[in-house]
Amino acid sequence: HHRTLKTYEYHIFSAIVIKFIRMNARVTVTVLLFLLPNAIAFFQSSFPHETPNFRSSQQRYLLKSVPQSSKVMCQMFTGIVEEMGTIVSLEEKNDMMLWDGSVGSGTELVVKGDVAIDGAYLGCSICVSGVCLTATDLSTPGQFSVGLAPETLRRTYLGNLKSGDRVNLERASEIGGRNSGHFVQGHVDGIGKIIDRWIDEDSLFFKVKVDSDLLRYIVPKGFIAIDGTSLTVCEVDHVEKCFTFMLVEYTQKKIIIPTKDIGESLNIEVDVLGKYAESALATILPRLEFLEGKVKDLEDQLKKERSAKD
């Protein structure tokens, strides 16, 4: 019976630990997800591809034979806009060759940007106002072409662009390089509408309205990518379904956002770590609830045995 009591005490202790983990799971998962890419970046920068201890001679030969422009390990962005490009054209094309040799129709966007095409190659990724797009034509000096998929047209405002409009441009970054912004995928989650803007000394503030399914990932002082720009959330209002952000004096002159007025659209990408944390918790919490139920059954059984003993 003493052994049984010890077993119950162990399970009760386990229940306390489980409850603690559950209370802190969001923080724990978020921290782990943040540390993982940084750990990868550290090891890749500390032990480059040519290090013989980590690569066979054949692997090192293959890596050296790959063009430098193709060594981008992960098509990610930092949210630090490199230049403001100009839209050359946006048109529907009916002569796009598909994988099986058939001809299909689609939307092609042509953009002028001197910095963006520096080191560019066919198939490389370029972030256009927050949207990761694939370069399909580099034949004209000073500009590049990209295709806009139906999903891109549904999720972003790129389909409303016209010749002469300005866009934020950023080339893909390499893992292990400096990141002065945050991890931006270029996968826009939705569109936000500017509902107010004002000046506070040298800072320019914006208030943006978004759908509820995006707002739950937006937290005060958290990361957010707006038109491809890495920014910090100032305040979140769940009643009005909006949030605010501000631009410092330097940033105002380097991106297109200050040129936008009330009622205009912004491409929004929430911090991916928040979505990963939610996904991880979705698998963990049901298991914790099951374990808590088992512990409760053990607690009830322990009470009955104690009552019978008394």
Catalytic machinery residues: 77, 125, 132, 134, 149, 187, 232
Secondary structure string (H, E, C) spanning 1-26: CHHHHHHHHHHHHHHHHHHHHHHHHH
Residue 211 main-chain phi, psi, to 5 deg: -70, 155
Write out the E strands in 81-176.
Answer: 83-97, 103-112, 125-128, 131-137, 143-148, 166-171
185 is written with which tokens?
A: 């995928």
Task: Answer yes or no: are the C-beta atoms of 152 and 158 closer than 8 Å.
Answer: yes
Q: Alpha helix locations (H) across the chain?
A: 2-46, 57-65, 150-155, 212-215, 249-252, 272-309
DSSP letter at 211 equals -
Specify whether the CB–CB gap between 253 and 301 falls below 8 A: no
Per-residue tokens: 299: 């607690």
The rounded distance, in Å, linking the Cα atoms of 103 and 121 is 24
